Structures are given as structure tokens and as C-alpha cells.
Structure 1
Amino acid sequence: GKVTNCQVGVSVHLARDHASTPVNWRLFLPMAWDPAAPQADPDKVARRERCGVPADLGHVEKWQLALDMIDETRSWGVEVPLVLADAGYGDTIAFRLGLNQRGLRYVVGISSRPAAHPAAARPVTPPYNGIGRRPAARYPDAARSVKALVIEAGLGAARPVSWREGSRPGRGRSGLKRMYSRFVALRIRPSGREIREATEGAELAECWLLAEWPAKEAEPVQFWLSDLPGDTSLTTLVRLAKLRWRIEHDYREMKQALGLAHFEGRTFNGWHHHVTLVSLAHAFCTLRRLTRAPKETAPA
């Protein structure tokens, strides 16, 4: 419910288990700032020139900005073996289809709402009565929410997985407690109008549904979709899904220590200049951390 003035950015990070850093940014331009949009605000459109917004730049959805930045990052010769994203992108079918079209594997967070069929479900073609177009094949049962599919599998389907060392003292190799929870992994066939149109009535593609379901919780608490191969291990799925914590860590470090949230400018170029300098500072700090001797990085 808070109302505030801010800029909204979309970022792409390169990440591994022990390091990550942002490499690309785009400023999100709301429809109110786009002269060609039906929701254009005359006052905001009039401010475009003063803010230095390029004349040919209009409103682009965040998921499309992300795909554009992935394309640009790959054009630099950077290999993108896998794409991770939160539910803000994972719930968008067009984003997932865009990754499919680029031949990119993904592990993306989703909400509990997306609909899907169990992997064993198969489409059935209704009998043709000889009048009009032949009916297209369809699934006999309606798609259900991913949450419902996981709950049907039951807490008994959950398996314990430990994926990395956390920040609290424990019995890990570095003296830190390992992150641990229980997870359910199911093979499903995601549904939705855009997916059905893309498949043109053919069988829906299989993918992984991963859900975190702690033993003390009555229901699963987090969900992911992945198009990784069917023989991918549960440990690998969990490790990759949880790797997004590195991006959250990047943002916390950039905001608290490197001034990402301190920008008070009002220009398009100024914003990009600011996030570029913050990204360079973050990359420098990351490289310094990685080149330290092991004894320098050991906990006190």
C-alpha cells in the first residue's frame, strides 16, 4: 500500500554457486510514459525529453526486457547454459515460451496458481460427427493448479535435500549450518491458452514441477517449473532452484554497501550511468573476494 517515487529496473546476472554479478540492466518504462499507449499520461509524456528518454523507446513488458537482455548478453559471446528467474517471470507463459524458442533451459519460480495436467495425462480426440471442422484433441480432465497436484501427491512424496551452507554456525565443512528442507518433484504438463496455441492441439510438453514442503507446514510453500531432462536428480533441481539466492545477495550488497538505492537523479542516461558504476564496483568486490587466500575467508 505504500506509494513512492522510484525507478524500476530489470537486471541480468551471471551466477554460479560461489559468485555472481549483474551484467545487464534495462529501465522499465510504464505505459503512462509511452506516447503510443492508450494509458499514456500527457504530463509524463511531456517530461520524456527533459528526462532524456530516447524518442524510439516505448513501454516494454518486463519479461520481454529480460529476453532482450539475454539475447544481448549472448551476442557478447557469453554462454547462457540455464536461465533462473523468480515467479514474476516464471508465471508469464510468454517468457517461458521465449526461452524455449531460444533453446534455453530454465528453472523459474512460479506461484501456486498455474494450471497443469499430470505427466500421465493424454489428449483424446472426440468422435467426428461429419459436420464442420474435425474436433481438435483435448485433455478429458480439466487442468488443475500446481498446488493441487503437489497436495494430491502428499507430504509422503517429499524428500529431504540439503543444498548449501548458510550463515549460521553448524557442522558444515566451513563450520556453518547447511540449508535443508523437504521437496516434492513431479513430472507435469503445464497448460494455458498460450501453450495450447503454440502446440496447436498436440500433446503438451512435459516438465518438472518442484515444490518445497517443509515437514512442519500443512501445505507446500514454494514452487518452481523446469524443462530440464526427465532424468535430472532432485538434488540438482533443488540446487539450481535455490541458486537465485545469489541474485538476492547481489541486490542486498549493492543497496547496502555500494549505493544502488541512493540514486536521486531524474534522467534516463543518469540512471544507466549509476547502475553501471554500481555493477562495476560489485564486480570488483566479487573478484577481490574470489582471489583471497582461503585463510582470509574462513569464519572467525
Structure 2
Amino acid sequence: MTPEEIASVRGELEDLATEVFEPFARNDQRRWGQVYLRGLLTDGRRKSVEPMAARLGEDGNRQALAHFITTSPWDPAHVRARLAWRMEKAIRPTVLVFDDTGFLKDGNASACVSRQYTGTAGKVTNCQVGVSLHMASDHASAAVDWRLFLPETWAPGSVKADPDKVARRTVCGIPDDIGHVEKWQLALDMLDETRSWGIEVPLAIADAGYGDAAAFRHGLQARGLNYVVGISTTLSAQPGEAAPVAGPYSGTGRPPVAKYLDKPQSVKQLVMAAGRRAAKPVQWREGSRPGTGRSGLKRMYSRFAALRIRPAGREVRQATDGPELPE
């Protein structure tokens, strides 16, 4: 980049930092917040304070940066709100995306580190997991809200609590009132917070880590959102035409609960029962490998079956009739 381009980018970054960090109570917090933001954008994989300070040159005051991160209190909700307002104007989102990311760790000193599954590594490993809400459109996306997932091993009241991890809560600065919350509930909490900022996006997307939870789907529906979520092939369900039937009622005592006559099947079994003819070929774009596409690249292609099913898990059996779920 030319010196003029670098100066232009730095000016835009300073404008963003001024807007986003405006709620900070003190001038020094606003200054070091801006420096920390620049540090995150510098080259280098390590984002801890010491290597960042070394890359920042004359602004690389390690002690001041460490103080800003560890002992300079500020409310992150105000910063996230301003970031979301700015991204709403820039992206013009048509969908909210819920996801989580694993941060691989070698040791156990960081807050909420535990052996858990993360798609980042594709396996169970030692990591932190962050749950995030993204605004997205056809041309861009940005994370505007996020939560650090606290595993049950870190929760004092859990039967899975690890005494060593619980003892580290104070050192890590985890407040006493923060306990284990399922990822799907963290996602709904972020949705509520984002809407409290005046941001309304009518469509939500999530993978099966969230879509498998009936309470998450019901939460989206209760908030008036349309949604497209993944589900696991092992999820139990009934065919779309199935209907629960209540037994005879004598007029005394509690009326019998309506039940499906047939046992539920897995989603995979329902798709297999539909047969090969129910699956239609779909090509959505060309990939990056050599192939027979117009541009000489391999076409992204698969077969899909569209079925209507009724979830049959324990959570939805509490209702008289489980909602239909397209698969």
C-alpha cells in the first residue's frame, strides 16, 4: 500500500474506534481501546498483549495495554451496540446467523477452557468456545454479539463440576452469578439483546448444534422469526401427515394426553423411506477444484429430498401437536 492509502485506512480505523469506544468513561480508555484494535489487525497469529505490543512500535506500551484489558472496567454491551448499528448500515443484513467457534488452548489457565467438541478442530479437544451472532447479507457479514460458553465443569453447582476449574474462577475474573448456560440459550439471549438495540432482522440461520434443540426453535418462533436450521439425522420425528390421538376420556380426572399411534423414526429413516425418486439434484455454484463447469472448475452438486416431518422428541410431546419441520 502507498503511504496515502495507509493514512486513509488508519483514518477510517480511527473514526470507527472513536464511534465504537465513545461510551468509555475516560480518555485513556478510548486511546488504548483504539491502540488495542490496531494491534488485533496487525500481522501475527498471537493476539496476546506482549506480542501485539512488540508489533505496534511507538504505541506498543505493554503495561498500558495490559491494564486496559485486565483492570480497566467498561461495559461491553455499549460497544457491541454501536458496532451493531454501524454494521447494520454497512451490511444491510437480511439474516442473522448463530454459530460458535473454538479457540484451541495448550494449557488450562484461560477462562472456561475444557475438553469439548469444536468444529474448529473437528474433534473433542482442549479449547474455549465462543457463541456468536452475525449479521449477514449476500455480500458481507460481521459478528456483532458474542458470549464465552462456560462448560459444566466450571459451574460450581453442577454434578460435572471440576474442583480445579471452579477454584480458578476468581483468578479468571468470572463473576459468581455466571453459571453454565446451554449454547442455544446464549443464542436466544444475544437475539434479545440485539433486538433491544432496535435491530430487527426477520430471518435466522443456525446449524444442527442449535437446530436440534426444540427449545431454540420454539424460542425463535415465539419471537416471530422465520428460521432455517440444520438438524441431525438421528433426530426423532413423525411423518408430516401424522397426528396425535387422545384416548377415551371418562370425564373424571386429568384428560389423557394426545399421543402418536406409531413409534417415532429417525430423520434418516424417514428420508430413506421416501426413496431415491424423492431426491432431486441441485447445483448451487462452482467450486475451486478442476472439473467440468463452464469455468473449468468442479460443480458443487448434491441430491436433496424435501419432506415435511413432525419432531417427536420429549420437548415437543408436551404440546398437543408438534410443529411441522421441513427437512
Query: Would you call these one fold, judging by a TM-score over 0.5?
Result: yes
Unpaired segments of 5 or more residues in structure 1?
210-300
Greater RCO, 1 or 2 (C-alpha within 8 Å, sep 6+) = 1
Q: Provide the residue aligned with 1:16 in structure 2.
A: 137
Per-residue deviation, 1:22: 2.0
| Pair 62,169 (structure 1): closer, same or farther in 2 beyond 3 Å | same
Structure exhibiting the larger radius of gyration computed from Cα positions: 2
Equivalent residue runs for 1:145-160 within 5 Å: 145-160=266-281
1:142 aligns with 2:263: yes
Partner Cα distance (2:154, 2:297) in 1: 48
CA deviation vs aligned residue, 1:158-180 (integer Å, no higher than 9, x gap):
11112233223567677754422
Per-residue deviation, 1:130: 5.8
1:204 aligns with 2:322: yes
Per-residue deviation, 1:150: 0.6
Per-residue deviation, 1:185: 0.3
Q: Provide the residue aligned with 2:236 in structure 1.
A: 115
| Pair 164,76 (structure 1): closer, same or farther in 2 beyond 3 Å | farther
Query: Which stretch of the first structure deviates more once superposed, 78-87 or 152-161?
Result: 78-87
Per-residue deviation, 1:12: 1.6
Partner Cα distance (1:207, 1:39) in 2: 33
Q: Provide the residue aligned with 1:30 in structure 2.
A: 151
Q: Secondary structure at the match of 1:7?
A: strand
Per-residue deviation, 1:137: 2.4
Partner Cα distance (1:115, 1:3) in 2: 25
Of 245, 250, 254, which aligns to 1:124?
245
Q: Secondary structure at the match of 1:113?
A: coil
Query: Matched residue pairs, number?
Result: 206
Partner Cα distance (1:92, 1:61) in 2: 10
Q: Which amino acid aligns with 2:326?
A: W
Q: Which amino acid aligns with 2:323?
A: A
| Pair 58,119 (structure 1): closer, same or farther in 2 beyond 3 Å | same
Q: Which amino acid aligns with 1:28?
A: F
Equivalent residue runs for 1:42-191 within 5 Å: 42-129=163-250, 132-169=253-290, 176-191=297-312
CA deviation vs aligned residue, 1:144-169 (integer Å, no higher than 9, x gap):
11111110100111111122332235
Partner Cα distance (1:3, 1:162) in 2: 33
Q: Secondary structure at the match of 2:258?
A: coil
CA deviation vs aligned residue, 1:90-142 (integer Å, no higher than 9, x gap):
11222112212212222111111111111111222322356643323222112
Partner Cα distance (1:43, 1:167) in 2: 47
With normalisation by structure 2, the TM-score equals 0.57
Q: Which amino acid aligns with 2:231?
A: I
Q: Which amino acid aligns with 2:218?
A: L
Partner Cα distance (1:97, 1:10) in 2: 19
Q: Secondary structure at the match of 1:63?
A: helix
| Pair 31,137 (structure 1): closer, same or farther in 2 beyond 3 Å | closer
CA deviation vs aligned residue, 1:5-55 (integer Å, no higher than 9, x gap):
421111222223343222222111122222233333332222112111123
Per-residue deviation, 1:88: 1.5
Equivalent residue runs for 1:236-251 within 5 Å: none
Q: Which amino acid aligns with 1:62?
A: K
Q: Which amino acid aligns with 1:53?
A: I
CA deviation vs aligned residue, 1:56-115 (integer Å, no higher than 9, x gap):
211111111111112222222333322221221111222112212212222111111111
Unpaired segments of 5 or more residues in structure 2?
1-114, 116-122
| Pair 136,19 (structure 1): closer, same or farther in 2 beyond 3 Å | same
| Pair 71,167 (structure 1): closer, same or farther in 2 beyond 3 Å | farther
Partner Cα distance (1:123, 1:207) in 2: 16
Partner Cα distance (1:79, 1:173) in 2: 39
With normalisation by structure 1, the TM-score equals 0.61
